[in-house]
Structure 1
Amino acid sequence: MSRRAPLPASHLLAVSVGGAAGALVRWALVVAFPAAAGGLPWVVVGINVVGSGLLAALPALPVVRRHDWVAPLLGTGVLGGFTTMSAASVDTVALGAAGEPVAAAAYLLLTLVGALLAVLVVRRATRGRLA
């Protein structure tokens, strides 16, 4: 069994700072644009779709390929803190429990399909630019 090298302190710091920044931006957007009772949490859908697309675009950025700490900062950190599968899961269950099964299903599908489409569009747009 091989031993893994310890993570560089710069990566730990990058993920920590990035995660805090991403979570703060998500929180600010959710507070600024709250979902109506029984309505779809459109802000969380948008966050997850946009975040998925941005994550797919990271390998195409030259700065990510030049500096080994940028991917942990922007990917795991900022975008990991920004996107939120947990909120999408809780919101889906809450909509169902509130007697809104169609809204719950629509929210789940919009989040998943939107995120996957964002990744596919970005991958197609960045084809040939990936390392």
Structure 2
Amino acid sequence: MNNNFRDIFADLTTTQDQGIEVNIPTFDPMGDLQTQIMAGYVNMHQSHRQGKREEALGYAYFIGQLIETMTTTPAQRTACRQLLTRYFATVVERVYYIFKRWGVDQIARTTTLNFRMIRDYPNISPFYSDS
């Protein structure tokens, strides 16, 4: 079994509380969707640069949630994804679907899962698909 697979699986199945609280922002229905995505993107980048892994994952989940649930047409979804780099567009989508399945509280329990692992693992879909 691949080490990355073991690390990802261990992070997603751990029940041990790390004593960290991750606050996921909430969507403002009165606000502009693209503005909220950009604000989340800026905060995610800042958290990522500062080494605040859990916080960055929380913002990635929020952005993915906005794109996947608040857009109503494929064109709108594409326009929102184009606000991000290709790397981060992939990461936020995967983070959203992973933690939608495993629960957003699991973000705070992870110890090693990071953007690079999520982006680079060749077959990450088993962690978020129902099949």
TM-score strictly above 0.5: no
Identify, as 1 or 2, the structure richer in helix.
Answer: 1
Q: TM-score range by the shorter chain?
A: 0.3 to 0.5
Q: Which has the larger radius of gyration?
A: 1
TM-score if structure 2 supplies the norm length? 0.37
TM-score if structure 1 supplies the norm length? 0.37
